[in-house]
């Protein structure tokens, strides 16, 4: 048995409330990095902001109260479920080997909210828009950006930032 | 021109099949059998709700889609279904691939220290899966459950030197 506790093991578990706050922090960090012309790092933070927004919206929709713990295994079971549910085109809602599936969370959220029902036309439009925004971010972002040394264009970064801001602003209604 | 007819490859589960599976699952919940599914009820903290994980080869045999599996699990639970946060049906292989059962309780005894039959029987008592080649695999979804079963096995069969091993998922 090891006789120490790692920093990761000392962190408080995730909750909907904590995740919402984390999304805002990541977004603010992205903006600071952008101002410093650290565009790749800014994009990297924006991707995580989007992922947190969508995953949090899913957990809220799945009935998790604001302060209920969401541990790693609870999250993994839900991701596993999304990896087993097929869309009409035969693909699954979440791809099998993606640990940070931005688009997968958006699809799973839309699926879950549709399954639960009671959606207004506006709700449906908003969920579809969330999938579209996630798709755009997904087309520029991946976790392995952290290993890269490259610059990122202003125009593309603006697109990703705008889409992420939309997710952040609309998160409570998703 | 030739007429080329393809056969449907999707799920052909009919209502009778569905009802039979739900009835069997309901029966297993009342009185589990050796050949039935392994069912985990995993409590969620502070919610009064729980996730249900049904590991069963029948899902594959009958080609039951993931969402239909969930609907069947809810139906089998009847009035208790409102307490279920996530009803999830998987095969053993799917559970392993998705790392849904990351904790294994394993005997570390040397050959001939404890009989293989006794080891298997002890593990099966706590829901171990029987694999091809007469192997058994005792896997659990949470460390709490794994620790609890580990403790019971240590008390019941100390000579087997039980250990808990954790499978690590993909790097995040």
Q: What is the pLDDT of residues A103-130, one digit of tens each?
A: 999 999 999 999 988 899 999 999 999 9
Residues B28, B39: Cα–Cα separation, whole Å: 9
Residues of B in contact with A93 (CB under 8 A): none
ipTM score for this prediction: 0.85
Architecture of domain B101-166: 2-Layer Sandwich (3.30)
Domain span(s) for CATH 3.30.70 in chain B: 101-166
Residues of A in contact with B85 (CB under 8 A): 62-63
Architecture of domain B15-96: 2-Layer Sandwich (3.30)
State yes or no: pLDDT of B10 exceeds 60.
no
Domains of chain A: 13-173 (1.20.120)
Domain span(s) for CATH 3.30.300 in chain B: 15-96
Q: What is the pLDDT of residues B109-161, one digit of tens each?
A: 888 888 989 999 999 999 999 988 888 999 999 999 999 999 999 999 998 99
Answer whether B141 touches A (CB < 8 Å). Answer: yes
Give residues with Cβ within 8 angstroms of B73, minimum separation 6. Answer: B25, B52, B54, B84, B87, B88, B89
pTM: 0.88
Q: What is the pLDDT of residues A4-20, one digit of tens each?
A: 888 887 888 899 999 99
Among chain A residues, the shortest Cα distance to B144 is held by A73
Cβ <8 Å between A77 and B46: no
């Amino acid at each position: 048995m090891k006789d120490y506790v790692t920093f990761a093991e000392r962190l408080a578990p995730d909750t909907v409330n904590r995740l919402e706050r984390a999304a805002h922090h990541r977004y603010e960090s992205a903006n600071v990095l952008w101002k410093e012309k650290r565009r790749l790092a800014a994009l990297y933070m924006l991707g995580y902001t989007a992922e947190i927004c969508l995953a949090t919206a899913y957990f809220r929709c799945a009935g998790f109260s604001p302060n209920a713990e969401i541990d790693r295994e609870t999250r993994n079971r839900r991701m596993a479920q999304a990896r087993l549910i097929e869309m009409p085109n035969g693909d699954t809602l979440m791809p099998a080997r993606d640990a940070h599936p931005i688009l997968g969370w958006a699809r799973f959220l839309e699926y879950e909210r549709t399954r639960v029902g009671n959606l207004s036309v506006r709700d449906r439009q908003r969920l579809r828009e969330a999938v579209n925004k996630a798709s755009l971010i997904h087309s520029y972002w991946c976790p392995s950006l952290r290993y890269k040394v490259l610059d990122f264009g202003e125009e593309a970064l603006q697109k990703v930032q705008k889409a992420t801001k939309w997710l952040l602003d609309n998160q409570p209604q998703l | 021109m030739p007429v080329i007819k393809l056969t449907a490859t999707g799920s052909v589960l009919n209502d009778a099949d569905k009802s039979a599976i739900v009835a069997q699952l309901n029966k297993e919940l009342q009185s589990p059998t050796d050949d039935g599914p392994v069912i985990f009820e995993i409590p969620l903290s502070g919610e009064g709700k729980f996730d249900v994980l049904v590991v069963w080869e029948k899902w594959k045999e009958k080609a039951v889609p993931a969402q239909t599996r969930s609907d069947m699990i809810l139906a089998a639970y009847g009035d208790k279904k409102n307490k279920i946060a996530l009803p999830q049906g998987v095969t053993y292989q799917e559970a392993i691939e998705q790392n849904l059962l990351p904790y294994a309780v394993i005997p570390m005894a040397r050959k001939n220290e404890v009989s293989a039959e006794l080891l298997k029987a002890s593990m099966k008592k706590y829901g171990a899966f029987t694999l091809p080649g007469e192997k058994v695999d005792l896997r659990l979804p949470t460390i709490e459950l794994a620790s609890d079963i580990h403790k019971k096995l240590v008390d019941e069969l100390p000579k087997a030197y039980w250990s808990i091993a954790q499978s690590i998922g993909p790097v995040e």
